[in-house]
Amino acid sequence: MRADRRSFMKAATLGAAAAVAAPYGFVKTINQAWGAQSWLKKGEPIKIGLLFSLSGGLAVPEEDSTLVMQYAIDEINKNGGIAGSPIEPVIVDAKSDFNVYSEKTKELILRNRVVAIFGCYTSASRKAILPTVMAQNHLLYYPTCYEGAECTQNTICTGPLANQHSRDLIPFMVEQFGKKVFFVGSNYVWPKESNKNAKVWLEKAGGELLGEEYIPLGSSEFGPVLNKIREAKPSFIFSTVVGASDIAFHKQFKQEGFKVDSMPIASLTTGEIETRAMGNEFGAGHFLSAPYFQGLDNPTNHKFVEGFLKSKYGKNGTTHYNMEETYLSAYVFKYGLEKAIAAGGIEAVTPRSIRDHSGGVRVEDAISPEGLVWIDDQNFNTWLKPKIGQCQADGSFKIVKASAEHVAPDPYSIYPDLGKCTADGLKAADGKVRKSVI
C-alpha cells in the first residue's frame, strides 16, 4: 500500500511538473473528462483567433479580412455580445508563410485557448492548418472561395465552391467572347483544382483550352506567360492568380499591349481591393465571379459599406467579396454559438459543438450585405446566389449576370463517384463513411 501510494504521488508530481513545463499541453473539454477545463465561462470574454496575413504577398486580401472581422466583432459587442459575453479577438500575422500558419494555429488552440479560428485565404494555408484543427477537434471558419473536394467535420466555409463560382463564369465568357481559352493560375492546390472544374464547364460549353500555365505564388514575372498567350490568341483568359501576383498580372497585361475588349481576363479573385491596389485603369473591362460586389443595391449593403468605410477599420477605402464573406462568418459564428449555448449551457460548449449546431444557420437580408445565405446542414458550406461583374473605369463592378435562385454548395460536383459530403464525413455509394477527408 505504501509503495502504491508513493508511486501515485510521484506520478502526480511528475504530471503537474510536465503541465507547467509544456505551455502547449492539451486540456480536454468539459464533456470529455471529469474536472476538465471548459472553453467558455459565463461572463468572461469569448476568445477567437484571427489568423490572416498582415504582411507578405497575401496581405492585399487578408489584411482586409482582419479589419472587417474587427468591425463585425465591435458591431456584435455593441449589441450585447453573445449570451452577454463580449468577443475578444487574438490577432496573428501569418506573414504569408505556410509554416507560420501551422505554428500559430497550435498556439491559438493550445496556449490562447480560442474557441474558433477565422483564417486563411489560400487553400494551401488552409491545408497547412487543418491537420492541427482536426487533431484537436477544433473549428475553422474559412471565409473565402475554395475548390471543394474536401469533407471535414471541423470547417465552416462562407465563400463559394467551384459549382457556385466558375460553373456560370465559363459558359458566360464563351458565349460573350468566344470558345478559345487560356488558363493562368498561381502554382498551388486551389488554382489547379479550380481549373479541373473549369475544364468540365468549358467542355460542356463547347470551348477549347489552348494552354494552361502556373506561376509561383507571389511571383511578379509574367513575361513568358504573356508571350505564350500572344501566340495562342485566345478569346479570353481564365485567371486563378492570387494576391500580389494578381496585381502584377493585370498591370503587365495592359503594359504589354493586350486589349481588354478583344481578350478580357475572367477571374475568380480580382475584386475591388485588387483593382484599387493596381489602379482602376488596369482592372477596367475585366470580369469577376463572386457572390458579393460593393455596388450591390440593397439597404443592408448600403449600411455595411457606409459603416465600414467610415469606421477606423475602413482605411483601405473599399469593400469586396472576401471581406463580405469574412463579415458573414462572424455572424454565422454568433448564431451557431447561441444555438450551442441554448442546447447545453455556455460551459458545455466546445468548438465541435458550435459546428454541429451551425447546420441550417441563416444570415438574413437584414444582416447579410449580399442578401440571405445559409449554412448547409450536411457539408457546412454556404447556400448563396452567384454573380458576375465587369470592372468599370472607376473601379466599381457592374453586375452583368446574377442567379435568381440560391445555389447549393457541392464540394464533389465533378467527383460524384467519390461520394457525398455529410455531417459525419464522406459517404460513399456503399454506405461507408470516411471522416475528416482532406
Backbone angles phi, psi at 70, to 5 degrees: -65, -40
| CATH number given to 166-267 | 3.40.50.2300
- For 27, residues 6+ apart whose C-beta sits below 8 A from its C-beta are 36, 37, 113
Residue ranges of alpha helices (H) inside 87-222 are 98-106, 123-135, 166-177, 189-204
Backbone angles phi, psi at 375, to 5 degrees: -90, 130
Of 163, 168, 197, 172, residue with least CA distance to 183: 197
Of 194, 197, 157, residue with least CA distance to 382: 157
| CATH number given to 46-160+298-383+418-434 | 3.40.50.2300
* Separation of alpha carbons 62 and 402, rounded Å: 26
Backbone angles phi, psi at 262, to 5 degrees: -105, -15
Strands 46-52, 87-93: parallel, antiparallel or unpaired by DSSP? Answer: parallel
- Which stretches in the chain have pLDDT values below 50? 1-35
**Predicted pLDDT at 6:** 40
Strands 208-215, 420-422: parallel, antiparallel or unpaired by DSSP? Answer: unpaired
- Judge if pTM exceeds 0.85: yes
Strands 373-375, 420-422: parallel, antiparallel or unpaired by DSSP? Answer: unpaired
Say how many C-beta atoms besides its own lie within 10 A of residue 95's C-beta.
17
CA 272 to chain centre: 17
Q: How far is CA 169 from CA 36, 242, 433, in A?
A: 50, 17, 33
**Predicted pLDDT at 37:** 84
pLDDT tens-digit map of 292-351: 999 999 999 999 999 999 999 999 999 999 999 999 999 999 999 999 999 999 999 999
> Where do you find CATH 3.40.50.2300 in the chain?
46-160+298-383+418-434, 166-267
CA 223 to chain centre: 30
In Å, the largest CA–CA distance within the chain is: 89
* Separation of alpha carbons 353 and 152, rounded Å: 14
- For 419, residues 6+ apart whose C-beta sits below 8 A from its C-beta are 412, 426, 427, 428, 429, 434
**Predicted pLDDT at 28:** 42
* Separation of alpha carbons 332 and 335, rounded Å: 5
**Predicted pLDDT at 36:** 62
- For 122, residues 6+ apart whose C-beta sits below 8 A from its C-beta are 58, 188, 190, 217, 242, 243
Cell of 1: 500500500
